[in-house]
Amino acid sequence: METTIDKEALLSELNRPYAISPDAVAFYRQNGYVKLKQVLSPEVLTYYGDILTDLVFRLNTLIKPMEERTTYERAFLQIMNLWREDEQAKEFVFSTRLARIAADLMGVEGVRIYHDQALYKEPSGGITPWHADQFYWPLASPNTVTVWIPLQETPMEMGPLAFAEGSQHVEIGRDIEISDDSEKLLADELQKQNFPLNNTPFELGELSYHAGWTFHRAGPNVSDQPRKVMTMIYMDKDQVIVPPRNKYQTADHAKWLNNVPVGSSPQNELNPVLFSY
């Protein structure tokens, strides 16, 4: 018997506020990340997860065998801006529930989307090396945050996201791209500076938010299932674009910010405001 989907109920959940505690906000600001339980129901994750998964496999162009890939390519299949490919993917990505949490964690009046990306770590997929996301972004303010949404329960063998607590406050490794070198150099440096590591599984419906300068990594996927994750990157709606500091920021400025002039704010076409008080 086919179950009928109550689409209105799913949309209502995606746009209903989630009560985030002052403790969770304080934890995020101190540690640069927070994990929140039961943010999305199994029904929402299943329904939209199927849509996102279909898009990922339809749009994926990385078909090399695992042994021929670089460390970065082994880490995950990466498909960006699904919201521009499919109306239902857009419903999920534009969730005001998720965007409002981002605004509350950063303490800003509203947030824009920078871009979304699906990160699917295949069975036998390798590590995601230590890195900080904002290395890639030509943005003035550290008020940026990524929501990491596993579309299934994510035990340790699938390679859940791990965080170096409080690392958003230090200026190490801010000029390093994600690579074998970043993994080794940052692992040594983070250990030397005694940053506590949070490396724990994710329950179904649990997700995390991490700041743009928080160092994070993920282990390999040694399970026989893909580790399916959807992410959205949010920025303060009043974020300002700065001159790109490396070739990746030059590319990001063109692709995700439409080459909007340096010194101005992102525009609504590619970077709409998803929540504002």
The edge-to-edge listing of strands for the beta sheet with 197-199 is: 128-131, 216-218, 161-164, 197-199
> Is 5 inside any structural domain?
no
- pLDDT tens track for 206-218: 999 999 999 999 9
Give pLDDT, residue 177: 67
Tell me which residue range forms the domain holding 190.
14-254
Reply yes or no on whether the pLDDT at 68 is more than 70.
Answer: no
- Cα–Cα distance for residue pair 56/195, rounded to 1 Å: 34
Q: Residue 274's closest CA among 134, 122, 101, 135?
A: 101
Reply yes or no on whether the pLDDT at 10 is more than 70.
Answer: yes
Q: Considering the chain, what percentage of its residues have pLDDT values greater than 90?
A: 74
Inter-residue contact 158 to 122 (CB < 8 Å): no
Reply yes or no on whether the pLDDT at 1 is more than 50.
Answer: no
- Cα–Cα distance for residue pair 119/158, rounded to 1 Å: 13
Mean pLDDT over each residue of the chain, to the nearest integer: 91
Q: Which two tokens stand for residue 36?
A: 């929140």
Residue corresponding to tokens 């700065």: 242
* Pairing label, strands 216-218, 110-121: unpaired
- pLDDT tens track for 144-193: 999 999 999 999 999 999 999 999 988 765 666 666 777 788 888 888 88
> Is 263 inside any structural domain?
no
Q: Considering the chain, what percentage of its residues have pLDDT values greater than 70?
A: 90
> Is 232 inside any structural domain?
yes
Give pLDDT, residue 176: 67
- pLDDT tens track for 85-117: 999 999 999 999 999 999 999 999 999 999 999
Q: Residue 150's closest CA among 33, 3, 6, 52?
A: 52
Reply yes or no on whether the pLDDT at 75 is more than 60.
Answer: no
> Is 78 inside any structural domain?
yes
Inter-residue contact 108 to 163 (CB < 8 Å): no
**Comparison of pLDDT for 138 and 177, the residue scoring more:** 138
> Is 210 inside any structural domain?
yes
**How would residue 77 be classed by pLDDT, with cut points 50, 70 and 90?**
confident
Q: Residue 73's closest CA among 6, 123, 28, 125?
A: 125
> Is 242 inside any structural domain?
yes
Domains: count for the chain: 1
Q: Residue 201's closest CA among 263, 266, 156, 140?
A: 156
Full-model pTM: 0.93
Give pLDDT, residue 216: 93
**How would residue 125 be classed by pLDDT, with cut points 50, 70 and 90?**
confident
> Is 216 inside any structural domain?
yes
> Is 195 inside any structural domain?
yes
User: Tell me, what CATH number does 77's domain have?
Assistant: 2.60.120.620
